[in-house]
Amino acid sequence: MTQPSFVPIVEADQVRPTYQLRVPGIWTQSRPSELRGASQPRGRQLGSPGPDQGFALKLARGFEDRLELAPGESCEDAIAGCTAVATRRCATFGRAPVVHDLTFGFTLWGFLGDAPADLVEARGRLFRSAAHHYQAQRAIADRVKEETLRLTPEAVAERLGRWHEMLMVPEPG
């Protein structure tokens, strides 16, 4: 309801002028960290971005008591390296991580049992201190061949004896 003109109004109750915001300019890619081009850059050590990848760490904790570690291997290193593989796999499918991605990673590197001795030897060098070094985690994930990422955990378990076909690991020496 409007106020009659003969009733005095205190200054605080007076209608104030509105603040006019300026029209923003056109957006440009001017900051150094912004991606240029139509897609995420790909290559070694660049990672595999995907939705909610941190959830893989929570899922990985469910495997702690099932891991079969060789002498000198640590649970934290195995989790860090295999989580990197799992996040790369789920990003390949464009989704968040699920328990099957972790099963895939742990099975592929032989941490869920039945690992050939040469795989255990090869993974020992790669996984050493992986929990503390991002580059080591990326190197572990980058060793998995692209076509291997599309296999099911069951198919990986069946082919574990032929692990050289699924991983790019140099011969010891």
Per-residue pLDDT of 125-156, as tens digits, reads 899 999 999 999 999 999 999 999 999 999 99
Between residues 45 and 15, the one the model is more confident about: 15
Where exactly are the structural domains of the chain? 55-165
Closest alpha carbon to 110 in 99, 121, 98: 121
- The per-residue pLDDT for 173 is 52
Predicted confidence (pLDDT) at residue 172 exceeds the cutoff of 80: no
Task: Report the distance separating Cα 172 and Cα 167, nearest Å.
Answer: 14
In sequence order, which residues have a C-beta less than 8 Å from that of residue 47 and are 6 or more positions away? 88, 138
What is the rounded average pLDDT of the residues 28-56?
Answer: 77
| pTM as predicted | 0.75
pLDDT for position 107: 98
What is the percent of the chain where pLDDT is above 90? 65
pLDDT of 29 over the 90 cut: no
Closest CA to 98 of 56, 52, 57: 56
Q: Say what the pLDDT of residue 56 is.
A: 94
Question: 69-121: per-residue pLDDT in tens?
Answer: 999 999 999 999 999 999 999 999 999 999 999 999 999 999 999 999 999 99
Structural element, H or E, at residue 103: helix 99-108
Amino acid 16: pLDDT: 78
